[in-house]
């Protein structure tokens, strides 16, 4: 007899301007997994359709989502996947564009491990597992709980800090495909309560226009620019930090107010901590964030880089076509082709039978 269930995880946009590694917004593009148990095969069979189908590994020991599921299972006393498992993924979230595709895959993996192992993990515990893999909380938290979310990584005691910082290669090892079920060492179990979050109000008249360039930019590469410039030297100038904190404090309330105030939000979505350093990777970014304003395009509330880019996120209440058209025109001048979509703020991840 076969049984099946469906996991659905939304896309996310992190940062929203000044909230680097702090805020995330879930958006109405989805990674959907249809999981069936009872179709005879020894290894899980994975199939994909939609975004990334031509590049994603289908080997369950190489695929990010199933590797995360295996990590969760192994931390909870299950040596491997249950037999006779097949997973079909339909993916609407483009890879490496700043719309949280890896965060969605990580959350899908945690939910898959939880369901297959009948673990009944709480949302907080699920977040711990996700944070052992993707170590900035903004995308994974918004993908799990949905909405406009702020999060931080808790200060843990020294032992827990060490446990939460084990190399990623120990959390998600390269499983030798011929090693059967004997993979040696137990995986590092996450300490309790790595991250905390809160959901902010969101005015439902605000939509997110995602303008998506047709090139990929890996988060690792977009963070490496920052690492060189800032993170390793810990040299974010204090005035830039204050600039961002002032704006973030206002933004988290301003996006929930009725009616939304374009002047307040446009200024509150500016950033001096990450976007200036990423402009070398995204031609057109400075022009997009400076030439289009609520005065030139009524309905526009604010513009920022989505996550690590290259997608641009414009928040607006109306006039979506003309805002997207102008951003498309700026990218065209840089010989970059874009696609664009009007997205709603989504609910959190779901598992349904």
Ligand X SMILES: Nc1ncnc2c1ncn2[C@@H]1O[C@H](COP(=O)(O)OP(=O)(O)OP(=O)(O)O)[C@@H](O)[C@H]1O
* Interface residue with ligand HSE, options 15, 91, 203, 349 (CB under 6 A): 15
Provide the pairing of β-strand 45-50 with 85-91. parallel
Number of chain positions touching ligand HSE (CB under 6 A): 13
Q: Least separation, in Å, of the C-beta of 148 and ligand X?
A: 16
Rg of the chain over CA atoms, in angstroms? 20
Tell whether residue 289 is a contact of ligand X (CB under 6 A). no
**Going residue by residue from 291 to 330, which x/- string records binding to ligand HSE, judged by CB under 6 A?**
----------------xx----------------------
**Going residue by residue from 79 to 118, which x/- string records binding to ligand X, judged by CB under 6 A?**
----------x-x---xxxxxxxxx-x-------------
Residue 315 has what DSSP assignment?
Answer: E
Residue 279 has which token pair?
Answer: 């402009």
Q: Which entry of ligand X, ligand HSE, none binds 91, CB below 5 to 8 A by partner kind?
A: ligand X
**Nearer residue to ligand HSE within complex by CB, 223 or 279:** 223
What are 340's strand-pairing partners? 211
Residue 342: how many CB atoms within 10 A of its CB? 15
Residue 234 has which token pair?
Answer: 């810990």
3-class DSSP assignment, residue 240: helix
Alpha-carbon dihedral sign for residues 62, 68, 69, 71? positive
Quote the CA–CA distance of 47 and 27 in Å, as a whole number: 24
Tell whether residue 139 is a contact of ligand HSE (CB under 6 A). yes
* Interface residue with ligand HSE, options 20, 81, 148, 331 (CB under 6 A): 20
By beta carbon distance, the residue nearest ligand HSE is 307
* Interface residue with ligand X, options 26, 139, 203, 289 (CB under 6 A): 139
Quote the CA–CA distance of 6 and 252 in Å, as a whole number: 32
**Nearer residue to ligand X within complex by CB, 21 or 114:** 21
Tell whether residue 97 is a contact of ligand HSE (CB under 6 A). no
Quote the CA–CA distance of 348 and 71 in Å, as a whole number: 22
- CB 21 within 8 Å of CB 135: no
Q: Least separation, in Å, of the C-beta of 338 and ligand X?
A: 16
Among candidates 167, 274, 278, 273, which has minimal Cα distance to 221?
278
Enumerate residues 265-284 that contact ligand HSE by CB under 6 A: 274
* Interface residue with ligand HSE, options 8, 67, 74, 136 (CB under 6 A): 136
Among candidates 225, 203, 266, 153, which has minimal Cα distance to 25?
203
Distances (CA, A) of 122 to 8, 135, 152, 266: 17, 19, 18, 37
Alpha-carbon dihedral sign for residues 52, 57, 58, 64? negative
* Interface residue with ligand HSE, options 7, 9, 11, 14 (CB under 6 A): 14
**Going residue by residue from 239 to 278, which x/- string records binding to ligand X, judged by CB under 6 A?**
----------------------------------------
User: In the complex, which residues of this chain contact ligand HSE (CB under 6 A)?
Assistant: 14-15, 20-21, 136, 138-139, 219, 222-223, 274, 307-308
Interacting residues toward ligand X by CB under 6 A:
14, 31, 52, 56, 63-65, 89, 91, 95-103, 105, 139, 218-219, 307-308
């Amino acid at each position: 007899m076969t049984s099946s269930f469906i996991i659905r995880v939304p896309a996310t946009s992190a940062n929203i301007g000044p909230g680097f590694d702090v805020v995330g917004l879930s958006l109405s593009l989805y990674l959907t997994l249809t999981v069936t148990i009872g179709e005879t095969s020894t290894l899980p069979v994975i199939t994909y359709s939609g975004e990334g189908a031509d590049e994603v590994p289908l080997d369950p020991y190489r695929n990010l989502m199933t590797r995360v599921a295996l990590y969760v299972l192994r931390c909870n006393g299950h040596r491997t996947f249950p037999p006779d498992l097949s997973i079909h993924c339909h993916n609407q979230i483009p890879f490496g564009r700043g719309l949280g595709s890896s965060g969605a895959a990580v959350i899908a993996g945690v939910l898959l491990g939880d369901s297959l192992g009948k673990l009944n993990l709480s949302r907080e515990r699920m977040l711990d597992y996700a944070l052992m893999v993707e170590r900035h909380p903004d995308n994974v938290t918004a993908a799990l709980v949905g909405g406009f979310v702020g999060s931080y990584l808790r200060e843990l005691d020294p032992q827990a800090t060490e446990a939460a910082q084990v190399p990623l290669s120990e959390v998600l090892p390269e499983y030798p495909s011929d090693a059967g079920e004997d993979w040696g060492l137990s995986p590092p179990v996450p300490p309790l309560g790595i991250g905390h979050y809160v959901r902010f109000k969101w005015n439902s008249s605000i939509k997110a226009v995602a303008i998506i360039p047709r090139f990929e930019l890996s988060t690792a590469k977009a963070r490496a620019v920052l690492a060189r410039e800032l993170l390793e030297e810990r040299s974010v100038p204090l005035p830039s930090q204050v600039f961002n904190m002032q704006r973030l404090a206002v933004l988290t309330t301003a996006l929930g107010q009725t009616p939304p105030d374009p002047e307040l939000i446009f200024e509150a979505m500016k950033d001096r901590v990450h976007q200036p350093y990423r402009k070398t990777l995204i031609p057109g970014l400075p022009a997009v964030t400076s030439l289009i304003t609520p005065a030139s395009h009524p309905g526009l509330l604010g513009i920022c880089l989505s996550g690590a880019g290259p997608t641009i996120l414009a928040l607006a209440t109306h006039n979506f076509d003309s805002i997207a058209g102008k951003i498309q025109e700026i990218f065209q001048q840089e010989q970059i082709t874009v696609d664009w979509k009007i997205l709603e703020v989504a609910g959190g991840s779901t598992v349904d039978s």
